[in-house]
Amino acid sequence: MAIRIIVKEPDAVLHKIAKEVKEITPNVKKLLNDMAETMYDAEGVGLAAPQVGILKRLIVVDVGDDHGLIKLVNPVILAKDGEQFGPEGCLSIPGINGDVRRAEQVTVKGLDENGKEVTITGTGLLSRCFQHEIDHLDGVLFTDIAEKVYEYVPERPGKE
């Protein structure tokens, strides 16, 4: 596994539509593993292949819940329900957050890294993350759909 360089806005690759993966090869599996390692290294909760400069429909997600690390090939959203509104950030747009309206719950279908079809329903943060990463596959960034965009200032422990 290897840590990849995360592509930053305004790189054109972030605004293009990723191509469907026709076959899960050893290279695709390696890319998914590299993406997971890159996401963890950057302390993110999701990463899409275009964010490492590769226009393939691949995402990795780990929001720290019971699902653990999820690797999906050619993910699609089958159903959406409810609504949530809140802040989002992106590893490709450091220092910026935005308030984004998303579905509270989504059901996503795709292939796992072994080519088995999987369907996962997520709520809350997992739902938001699925929607955010799948948007990346269609060249859509959270800043394109945010109702408000603002600079992110991390909290500093010990500073009152």
Q: Which residues are annotated as a binding site?
A: 90, 132, 136
DSSP labels, 67-126? T--EEEEEEEEEEEES-EEEEE--TTSTTEEEEEEE-SEEEEEEE-TTS-EEEEEEEHHH
Catalytic residues: 133
Question: Annotated binding site for Fe cation: which residue ranges?
Answer: 90, 132, 136
What are the Cα distances from residue 1, in Å, to 27, 56, 82, 91, 132? 11, 18, 38, 19, 24
